[in-house]
Amino acid sequence: MTLTYDCELEEEILFQLVPHFLPADNPQQSEDASHIGVNGGSEVFKETEAGYEALYHPEIPRPVESTLQCLRYQLWLACQSLGSREAIDETARSAGVKDKITEHWIKKLVGKSAKLKKIQMTNPETREPILNGRALVGPARKVVLQNITAEIASELWEWLLTQPEESYAKLALLL
């Protein structure tokens, strides 16, 4: 048990962390470990003899930093997704890493990315003026679209790093 101070209640409190140490086939343990569970790998692979067998054998233990790196990468993919989850889902499947909290932010980022794509890239009334010209075709147009995608991704990443907004607003009052 750990003694700590609750700043909202303005009193000392006790809490106890109870980590899962025992081996088990428990969905909650899988979720707590940011493991994708039996959802990892493609259905085609899982139906093969090797794929079925793989479901019942432990993999090499993954360091915490490796899991965090994979989750950060999924968030970055969501920033540059332009509304598509395909790359994010494929990364989660292939790495076997998926996190409930990260998923909350991925959904928000994918939605925001789709809106920004519509505003800056597809809506003729609001998109970047350079995209309205008929002279911009082929590789030159692709470069412009990649640059806009990179700008959208950077904007969303900066937004993500300041979430939740109300927590950051409170910091200004304390300083």
Per-residue pLDDT of the chain (175 residues; tens, 9 = 90+): 667 888 888 888 887 777 656 555 566 667 776 777 666 667 888 788 888 887 777 778 888 899 999 999 999 999 999 999 999 999 998 888 998 889 999 999 999 999 999 999 999 999 999 999 888 899 999 999 999 999 999 999 999 998 887 766 666 655 4
Phi first, then psi: give them for residue 11, nearest 5 degrees. Answer: -155, 160
Count the alpha carbons within 13 Å of 157 in the hemisphere toward its beta carbon: 14
**Dihedral of alpha carbons 128, 129, 133, 139, sign:** negative
- The position carrying tokens 């989850």 is 85
Task: Classify 9 as helix, strand or coil.
Answer: coil
Q: Are 83 and 110 in contact (CB under 8 A)?
A: yes
pLDDT at 43: 80
Q: What is the pLDDT of residue 71?
A: 94
Q: Compute the distance between CA of residue 35 and CA of residue 32 in angstroms, rounded to an integer.
A: 8
- Alpha carbon of residue 116 to chain centroid: 18
**Residue 5: strand pairing partners:** 12
Residue 154: its pLDDT value, please? 97
**CA distances for 149 relative to 71, 88, 119, 123, 138, angstroms:** 20, 16, 12, 15, 17
User: Any idea what the Cα angle at residue 12 is, between residues 7 and 14, rounded to 5°?
Assistant: 115
